[in-house]
Structure 1
Amino acid sequence: MFPRIPRIFSFDEESLNSSATFATTSLQSTTTINDSSNGIFEDFPGLNPSSERIVELQSDIWAKLGELMPNKSAQEVLEAAEVLHGESNDIDFLDSLLKDLNQNGVAGEAYKDAVDLVKDLVSSPLEQFEIIPLIPMKIGNLYFSFTNSSLFMLLTLSLVLLLVYFVTKKGGGNLVPNAWQSLVELIYDFVLNLVNEQIGGLSGNVKQKFFPCILVTFTFLLFCNLQGMIPYSFTVTSHFLITLGLSFSIFIGITIVGFQKNGLHFLSFLLPAGVPLPLAPFLVLLELISYCFRALSLGIRLFANMMAGHSLVKILSGFAWTMLCMNDLFYFIGDLGPLFIVLALTGLELGVAILQAYVFTILICIYLNDAINLH
């Protein structure tokens, strides 16, 4: 796989005609030439070619593409420029591509094959979120396929169950806890303190009824987020439907608890005391919309943070890999600098994964407290 060089420059017909001379005398340099005409190309510094023949073929292909596509859109021109990155050091490939361009133009098979090759080599940062059916199942018009999302949810659940099993397999924890038991106790105490601090107006025994659900939710989200940091894994919480389904199901449960605790008086939170009567209908509508949007914002917050963070890590990782494959005068800045940035960003994303599980859980506790105490 040949890395892409994500630099962009524009050029005119004169620069195309002199591209062969320029590439031969400056194999590892890049340039920017101002252009008042149409057409935008990606810069191609040559990827350190070992022979002048390769550079000559590359330059001839550049010139031919400029002749064939002078008035094409920027997207089409960029797609044509990608050809040079598919098999950039393969003389036979470049030679056949140039011959086909001279004979058939951009409608030739070689050009189409080159574009298809580049599409296979260059992946989108959003491809990591693609749901892939592993075991297709269909009943009528309904699909019940077992997907990679289902697989990693099962793996997360299995990991949690195994952790609990190994900690409690002898009927209880050790008097002197080991590392795994300490981890389970840390999570347990953390969520228990969170419930006791955020939910008021209830006795300890009543609070314990909500504690298992909140503990399971926090643990599930924490392990889902953390396993998504493993390379080539799937981030379950990066999909809106999954986080939305989780947030809406919990929110419906909180609403039911509010009615059980307060009866129809639960609806009084829609109309604060002392509101003038003419404003009452508008405030009721606004409060109702605000209350319903809690469930929506709860799911969107988790989905957006996980998806944005993983996409940014993927983009910068590709950039760092490209820089590592180049010979740069400023080695530590040009090559190792992006790598350090990726490592730092990965650490930040790891913190975000833990933080988002905490934020989701504490908001559940706050919403539950509001439903019980009508705050």
Structure 2
Amino acid sequence: MAAESKVDPMHQFAIEPIFGSANWELAGYNIAFTNSALWMAITTVLLWIFVAGGMKRELVPGRWQMMVESFTSFIDDLLEANIGKEGRKYVPYIFSLFMFILFANILGLVPLPLAMVGLHAFTFTAHFTITGVLAIMTFSIVLIVGFWKHGFHFFSLFVPHGTPLPMIPVIFPIELISFLFRPFSLGLRLFVAMMAGHVLLEVLASFIIDASNAGPGWGAFIGIPSFVLMIGICALEILVAGIQAYVFALLSSLYINDAENLH
């Protein structure tokens, strides 16, 4: 008799120590190396290899060099369109941010034949602790640039041009609260989009397993449509992986533009 499936859609997001958690204490804190840290390291190494391979500066660039230069040009155009010439100095940061998120999102979708040793693809951008830190990094740059370049005049950002004097006490706190929520919304958007897609894929996988265990009839009636839908969702998730990396980079450039130009 076929065993019942016990698919937990949330188990794929569990952070687990790879080498155990014992003897990994530092100043009272456990610093065990986790699956999340492993995939962040893998993403960083692959991104470094990708960029290093495209920095040959050949007179006639190869495909690899053209691909890296295309991504760099894309980010450069994005910053120039949203910030102006001042945005060029942010190309390294926004490029690194965009590519890191893109690689992380795509790697989390790659089926790797490592399940035998207990290792499976892990999408760390489906954790708010990770996306939140990335958002705080951008928010910190906005604050540093804003106060460094404009001083206390940076607070004029929270009073839109043309606001009547009696409305300033009302508009200022509303704009300030909206500004302070930016890192939360920036990190939450990426986290929710990646988690939702992976949960849906896991649920469809459970439908396929349950339908197969229930017999050929249920397998044909539920399993096959679920499998077809799962393929479509996988294709959509690849698109979402790129879109979410772009949206994160775009919003980051728009927030930095506020610090640079005080619109």
**Quick one: which amino acid aligns to residue 101 of structure 2?**
L
> Please, which of 68, 86, 109 is the counterpart of residue 184 of structure 1?
68
Using the TM superposition, give the Cα deviation of residue 198 of structure 1 relative to its aligned residue in structure 2, in angstroms.
Answer: 1.2
Gaps of 5+ in 1: 4-84, 86-120
CA distance in 1, matches of 2:260, 2:191: 27
Using the TM superposition, give the Cα deviation of residue 165 of structure 1 relative to its aligned residue in structure 2, in angstroms.
Answer: 2.6
> Please, which of 232, 239, 246 is the counterpart of residue 344 of structure 1?
232
1:291-310 to structure 2, matched below 5 A, reads 291-310=179-198
Counterpart for residue 47 of structure 2: 160
Query: What is the aligned length?
Result: 251
After superposition, what is the alpha-carbon deviation per residue over 1:99-153, rounded to whole angstroms, capped at 9, x for unaligned? xxxxxxxxxxxxxxxxxxxxxx513100000000124321232122211111000
Using the TM superposition, give the Cα deviation of residue 187 of structure 1 relative to its aligned residue in structure 2, in angstroms.
Answer: 1.3
After superposition, what is the alpha-carbon deviation per residue over 1:245-293, rounded to whole angstroms, capped at 9, x for unaligned? 1101211111211122222211112223444444432322111110010
> Please, which of 321, 328, 339 is the counterpart of residue 217 of structure 2?
328
After superposition, what is the alpha-carbon deviation per residue over 1:19-57, rounded to whole angstroms, capped at 9, x for unaligned? xxxxxxxxxxxxxxxxxxxxxxxxxxxxxxxxxxxxxxx
CA distance in 2, matches of 1:358, 1:329: 41
Counterpart for residue 157 of structure 2: 269
Normalising by structure 1, we get a TM-score of 0.63
1:27-46 to structure 2, matched below 5 A, reads none
Q: Residue 287 in 1 paired to residue 175 in 2?
A: yes
CA distance in 2, matches of 1:275, 1:239: 39
Question: Which secondary structure state, in structure 1, belongs to the residue aligned with residue 181 of structure 2?
Answer: helix
Counterpart for residue 256 of structure 1: 144
Q: 1:174 to 1:274 in 2, by over 3 A?
A: closer
Q: Residue 228 in 1 paired to residue 113 in 2?
A: no
Question: Which secondary structure state, in structure 2, belongs to the residue aligned with residue 134 of structure 1?
Answer: coil
Using the TM superposition, give the Cα deviation of residue 162 of structure 1 relative to its aligned residue in structure 2, in angstroms.
Answer: 1.4
> Please, which of 113, 117, 142 is the counterpart of residue 29 of structure 2?
142
Question: Which secondary structure state, in structure 2, belongs to the residue aligned with residue 298 of structure 1?
Answer: helix
| Greater RCO, CA 8 A, separation 6+ | 2
Q: Residue 368 in 1 paired to residue 256 in 2?
A: yes
Q: Residue 195 in 1 paired to residue 79 in 2?
A: yes
Larger of the two Rg values belongs to structure: 1
More helix by share: 2
Q: 1:158 to 1:174 in 2, by over 3 A?
A: farther
Using the TM superposition, give the Cα deviation of residue 222 of structure 1 relative to its aligned residue in structure 2, in angstroms.
Answer: 0.4
**Quick one: which amino acid aligns to residue 225 of structure 1?**
N
> Please, which of 355, 358, 362 is the counterpart of residue 243 of structure 2?
355
Question: Which secondary structure state, in structure 2, belongs to the residue aligned with residue 259 of structure 1?
Answer: helix
Q: 1:174 to 1:344 in 2, by over 3 A?
A: farther
Counterpart for residue 115 of structure 2: none
Contact 2:82 2:254 in 1 (8 A): yes
**Quick one: which amino acid aligns to residue 172 of structure 1?**
R
Which portions of structure 1, spanning 4 or more consecutive aligned residues, are displaced by more than 3 angstroms?
A: 273-279
1:62-81 to structure 2, matched below 5 A, reads none
> Please, which of 1, 13, 17 is the counterpart of residue 133 of structure 1?
17
Normalising by structure 2, we get a TM-score of 0.88
Contact 1:254 1:368 in 2 (8 A): yes
Q: 1:335 to 1:134 in 2, by over 3 A?
A: closer
CA distance in 2, matches of 1:208, 1:274: 30
Contact 1:125 1:314 in 2 (8 A): yes
Using the TM superposition, give the Cα deviation of residue 239 of structure 1 relative to its aligned residue in structure 2, in angstroms.
Answer: 0.5
Using the TM superposition, give the Cα deviation of residue 314 of structure 1 relative to its aligned residue in structure 2, in angstroms.
Answer: 0.7
Using the TM superposition, give the Cα deviation of residue 324 of structure 1 relative to its aligned residue in structure 2, in angstroms.
Answer: 4.0
Using the TM superposition, give the Cα deviation of residue 190 of structure 1 relative to its aligned residue in structure 2, in angstroms.
Answer: 1.3
Contact 1:243 1:299 in 2 (8 A): yes
CA distance in 1, matches of 2:172, 2:218: 66
Q: 1:173 to 1:265 in 2, by over 3 A?
A: same
RMSD: 2.1
Using the TM superposition, give the Cα deviation of residue 328 of structure 1 relative to its aligned residue in structure 2, in angstroms.
Answer: 1.3
CA distance in 2, matches of 1:335, 1:299: 35
Counterpart for residue 34 of structure 1: none
**Quick one: which amino acid aligns to residue 207 of structure 1?**
G
**Quick one: which amino acid aligns to residue 223 of structure 1?**
F
1:42-121 to structure 2, matched below 5 A, reads 85=4
Using the TM superposition, give the Cα deviation of residue 319 of structure 1 relative to its aligned residue in structure 2, in angstroms.
Answer: 0.7
CA distance in 1, matches of 2:262, 2:228: 49
CA distance in 2, matches of 1:302, 1:335: 30
Contact 2:141 2:256 in 1 (8 A): no
